[in-house]
Amino acid sequence: MKFQFQSNPSQFYYKPSVFTDAIKVLVSFNFCIFILQTISNAENLFFPLFGLVPKLVWSELMIWQPLTYMFLHGGVWHVLINMFVLWMFGSELEKLWGKTRFLNYYFITGIGSGIITMFFGLNSMTPIVGASGAVYGVLLAYGLTYPNRTVYLYGLIPIKSLWFVMGIGIIAFFSSFNNGTQISHLTHISGMVIGYFLLKKPISWRTLWFSVSKKIKEHRVKQEERKVLKQYVIERDIDVILDKINREGFNSLSKDEQDRLYRGSQSLSRGKKKD
């Protein structure tokens, strides 16, 4: 199975403060999940079920996936770098904002970036996993909150945090047009865009989750309505053919009418529930 991962934004160095409450919980939970998935060796089961698979979210109503995909990772470096970046840049933001606001921001950017990715790949069956959508949102918030802080690329090259964030945003944007990569750059840039608007106008993650659930259920209802309409059309066509058989006999049917009768009967038979 092909997996689509969200990668690290870059390599950098900056000495952050100690673990804060929300960061401690997020990092611990992500590592625990990764250890469990590694020990079980069941990625082929966990990724399609709890990763973000756009087609399954729409067709099977797996509405938990835009949340759960954030806690699965494709390898040890994937989870290590994501959690390292989250700890490095998220700690100071949590101290400034408080635990509740930071968690709201983290989950809205993570879930929101997953939803945007889902809309751009409605028929995709490739699982997307990783917390990078939320991590990129944290990076953007840090760059806008502390624009003049110095970040050291590769531990050597000093750069202002604002320019650093703009740089990785540009890279993520242009990389999102490359369909050949296994990295979900669209998720990255979506996390930053959502983060930007969220900082300008805060919203509740409950409101976002309600809106998403409503849209998915509306989509499912429309699918059911189309299915019922298709079945009604088939039944009407079969009734017309059966009336002709009653009047003129089966041999009066043309080859096309016989085929329609057979296909329609098969379709209606598959649609009926069995005891």
Residue 271: pLDDT band (50, 70, 90) is low
- Going from N- to C-terminal start, the domains of the chain cover 4-203, 220-271
Distance CA 145, CA 103 (A): 17
Pairing between β-strand 4-5 and β-strand 128-129 as defined by DSSP bridges: parallel
Is the pLDDT at 116 greater than 50? The verdict is: yes
| Residue 74 scores a pLDDT above 50 | yes
> Does 180 score more than 60 pLDDT?
no
Amino acid identity, position 83: M
**Confidence at residue 1, expressed as pLDDT on a 0 to 100 scale:** 39
The larger pLDDT score, comparing residue 157 to residue 23, is at 23
Cα distance between the two ends of the chain: 35
- The pLDDT score that the predictor gives to residue 204 is 59
More confident residue, 201 or 195: 195
> Which pLDDT score, from 0 to 100, does residue 12 have?
46
Banded model confidence at residue 23, pLDDT cuts 50, 70, 90: very high
Residue 171 tokens, joined = 């890279």
| 3.40.50.970, 3.40.710.10, 3.10.50.40, 1.20.1540.10: CATH of 4-203 | 1.20.1540.10
Write out the two tokens for 203: 């919203």
* pLDDT at position 34: 92
Q: For the chain, give the mean pLDDT.
A: 79
Contacts of 82 (CB under 8 A, 6+ apart): 6, 8, 30, 73, 130, 131, 132, 135
Q: How confident is the model at residue 102 (pLDDT cuts 50, 70, 90)?
A: very high
More reliable by pLDDT, 17 or 90: 90
Q: Say what the pLDDT of residue 207 is.
A: 65
- Of residues 131 and 226, the one with the higher pLDDT is 131
- Does 167 or 143 have the greater pLDDT score? 143
For residue 207, give Cα distances in angstroms to 101, 108, 202, 203, 254.
Answer: 15, 10, 11, 7, 57
Give the pLDDT score at 182: 56
pLDDT band at 10 (very low <50, low <70, confident <90, very high): very low
pTM of the model: 0.66
What values do phi and psi take at 12, rounded to 5?
A: -155, 170
